Amino acid sequence: MASSVATKFLTDRVALVTASTKGIGFAIAKQLGAAGASVVVCSRKEKNVDSSKKTTDFQEAVAALRLENIDAHGTTAHVGNKEDRTKLINFTLDRFTKLDILVSNAAVNPHYGDLMSVSDSQWDKLLDLNVKSAFELTKEAVPHLEASGRGNIVFVSSVAGYSPMNEIGAYSVMKTTLTGLSKSLALNLARRNIRVNTIAPGKIKNHLKEMVSPLESPKRHNRIIQTDFSQALFSDEAEKQKWLSQIAQRRFGDPDECAEAVAFLVSDEASYISGETIGINGGMQARI
């Protein structure tokens, strides 16, 4: 889907987007850049994505963004690690001297199955990477967002936070919690002129035109656990049709549609919107 950006309404702003080398995160970085922002992307993985070029995830993403004439830089960072969070903020400041926009997109789901079977270590990982790290990165960013005079934070949640399923019950709890965190931060940070909002994507295609989804059938368990969570696919036609039947528009969404919502939320046109969660779900009946 082509970007609908017609003007550079984010010119002179700096955006940091976590988990942003592919899928929804990359689409957000690209959309913000197309609107005029300078962007920092990051990946927690050091693995080479091209054995001949020996490039990392973030280098591939930065190269793609620069081909679009976007001022982009990138680095590796595991946002669950305190030192990496500090490094990520400092990296942004070293490159651009300021920070106006933080988009927290990192997420993980180490468990698939009955909620009562979630282990202590899995709960710890879910909380640390889905909620605590988002909060801690926000804390690191707040002084710089306040200094910008027009700071914005956007969390990427999920429809799973509205409509939990037993198989991903713990993950659903994390996304519900993230929505609550957003509302609490919006109240707390308003006096610092920082707005905080959330998007809750539904069934969204990823960058390979496959399916991004936390709502998978049990037979997909191994793939979900063994690959990056956002790469889970819908290859089963019956399963695909089941989910389409729950979407009013009868189609899956595109990462660009999530990105366009984020670009709006961090723009001046949304200056009176804070503490809100926007569902990007094609009319799925998922709401608290």
Catalytic residues: 171
Nearest alpha carbon to residue 141 among 199, 93, 76: 93
Strand positions, DSSP E, 162-257: 194-201, 204-205, 211-212
Q: Give the integer Cα–Cα distance in Å for 196 and 185.
A: 7
Over the Cα atoms of the chain, what is R_g?
18
Beta bridge partners of 197: 154
Nearest alpha carbon to residue 148 among 54, 24, 268: 268
Beta strands across the sheet bearing 194-201: 72-76, 38-43, 14-17, 101-104, 151-156, 194-201, 277-280
Q: 23-34 and 57-67 helices cross at what angle (nearest 10)?
A: 30
Largest CA distance in the chain: 52
C-alpha distances (whole Å) from 147 to each of 18, 91, 129, 186 are 21, 17, 27, 17
Which residues make Cβ contacts (< 8 Å) with residue 105, sequence separation at least 6? Answer: 17, 18, 19, 20, 24, 25, 28, 156
